[in-house]
Amino acid sequence: MMDRSPLLDVDALSVAYGGVPVVDGVSFRLASNERLGIVGESGSGKSQTARAVLGLLATHARVEATRLSFEGRDLLGMGPRARRQLRGRRIAMVMQDPQASLNTVMRIGAQIDEVHRRHRGSSAAEARARTLEALEGLGLDDAGRVYRAYPHEVSGGMAQRAMIAMMLAPDPSLLIADEPTSALDMAVAAGVMETLREQVERRRMAMVVISHDLDLVASFCDRVLVMWRGRIVEACGADRLHEARHPYTRGLLGCIPRLGRRPRRLATIDRGTAHGD
Ligand SMILES: Nc1ncnc2c1ncn2[C@@H]1O[C@H](COP(=O)(O)OP(=O)(O)OP(=O)(O)O)[C@@H](O)[C@H]1O
Ligand SMILES: [Mg+2]
């Protein structure tokens, strides 16, 4: 059931560069503690949609929306400072490359401590205890070592968990994860996703997961949006994805290779018949 006022409300969002739309009339609502997946081929506008919500678009992007609000506040009418604060405190983001989001010249523990101190007014000792607890809670057995390490001294999976710990430190109400595991090998990726799932559930956060991986999104989310050429061409419950009607979505589903099945020709989309809505 959708709350009377959704956590995130996006209505007719468009993003264009030099008059060329890359997001074209996208609308969706997200209830608190709902998990939404966005899938679609490369260049379909998934990241640009997320970046519009986060306020992280290039300066020459032209953004328009009938409504773009978070926790009842109008995002487009907000100044850059308020937007930045929201990003740090209420909305967390997990991107593909954790190494790029962490400060390379600062030890991991000190970076996360700083967030605890800034947002919760923790003392140095309290911050350290909270950070170690968070790292352990994210499945890092050797939390003490990760705490003392610089980002380049830990594996990709560990760095991703460290970044998640840092993002979750202010207790945000929404987590946006854009291809959170595509830089990791499959086994590590599955572990990181499981950790994310636990955290989202425990903290009763809402989540938007962007991925190429339909299976992952279907198993992780309540609802899935399928984007194609800047538009949402299908929106359905994750459990009903197999009933999807749009030729593009069917193409995506048909392209998932499965173990134990005879290989067959990969489905391809007939662009002549695949117009939106
Ligand atoms: N700064 C920019 N200037 C011009 N065009 C841009 C800019 N940033 C993104 N685009 C274009 O916007 C379109 C949508 O990009 P977006 O990053 O949202 O795709 P995506 O669905 O996330 O793809 P991927 O799965 O590869 O990450 C692309 O065609 C991209 O080239
Ligand atoms: Mg992207």
Residue 178 CA, ligand 2 centroid: distance in Å? 7
Name the residue among 98, 88, 255, 72 with its Cα closest to residue 164.
98
**Model pLDDT, residue 32:** 93
Residue 44 Cβ inside 6 Å of ligand 1? The answer reads: yes
User: Which residue CA neighbors atom 17 of ligand 1 most closely?
Assistant: 47
Q: Provide the pLDDT confidence category of residue 5 given band limits of 50, 70 and 90.
A: confident
pLDDT in tens, 25-34: 999 999 998 9
pLDDT at res. 174: 97
Pick the residue whose CA is nearest to atom 6 on ligand 1. 17
Mean pLDDT within 39-63: 94
Which residue is it, tokens 């490359």? 97
Tens-digit pLDDT profile for residues 73-123: 999 999 999 999 998 899 998 887 777 778 999 999 999 999 999 988 899
Given a cut of 60, is residue 259 above it in pLDDT?
no
Distance in angstroms (rounded) separating the CA atoms of residues 141 and 93: 24
Helix ranges, 221-263 (H): 247-254
CA distance linking residue 147 with residue 129, whole number of Å: 11
Amino acid at 198: E
- In this predicted structure, the answer to whether residue 274 has a pLDDT above a threshold of 50 is no
CB-CB contact of 97 with 183 (8 Å): yes
Residue type, 6: P
More confident residue, 100 or 35: 35
- What is the pLDDT, as a whole number, of residue 271? 52
Write down the mean pLDDT value for the chain: 87
Between 23 and 255, the more confident residue is 23
| Residue 266, pLDDT above cutoff 70 | no
> Greatest CA separation found in the chain?
63
**54, 116, 126, 199 from 129: Cα distances, Å:** 30, 10, 5, 18
Confidence (pLDDT) at 273: 46
Note the ligand closest to the C-alpha atom of 57.
Answer: 1
| 230 close to ligand 1 (CB < 6 Angstrom) | no
Detail the DSSP E strand segments found in the chain.
8-17, 20-30, 35-40, 62-64, 67-70, 73-74, 91-94, 174-178, 206-210, 223-228, 231-237
DSSP-assigned beta bridge partners for residue 40? 227
Contact 241, 209 (CB under 8 A): no
Give 260-265's long-range contacts (Cβ < 8 A, gap of 24+).
none
What own/partner pairs with CB < 8 Å and gap ≥ 24 does 237-242 have?
238/37, 241/214
Ligand 1 center from residue 108 Cα (angstroms): 30
Identify the band that residue 39 occupies on the pLDDT scale cut at 50, 70 and 90.
very high
Q: Which ligand is nearest to the CA of 51?
A: 1
* pLDDT tens digits for range 205-258: 999 999 888 888 888 899 999 999 999 999 999 888 878 777 778 777 775 555
Q: Tell me how many helices (H) and strands (E) the chain has.
A: 10, 11
Contacts of 99 (CB under 8 A, 6+ apart): 151, 152, 156, 159
Q: What is the mean pLDDT of the segment spanning 35-48?
A: 94
211 lines ligand 1 (CB under 6 A): no
Ligand 1 mutation pick, 24, 48, 59, 211, max ligand atoms within 8 A of CB: 48
- Predicted confidence (pLDDT) at residue 277 exceeds the cutoff of 50: no
| Among 14, 17, 176, 212, residue to substitute to test ligand 1 (most atoms within 8 Å of Cβ) | 17
pLDDT reported for residue 169 = 92
Q: Is the pLDDT of residue 71 over 60?
A: yes
14 in contact with ligand 1, CB cutoff 6 A: no
Among 130-139, 188-197, 244-253, the least confident range: 244-253
Above 60 in pLDDT, residue 40?
A: yes
Atom of ligand 1 nearest to the CA of 57: 1
pLDDT at 192: 85
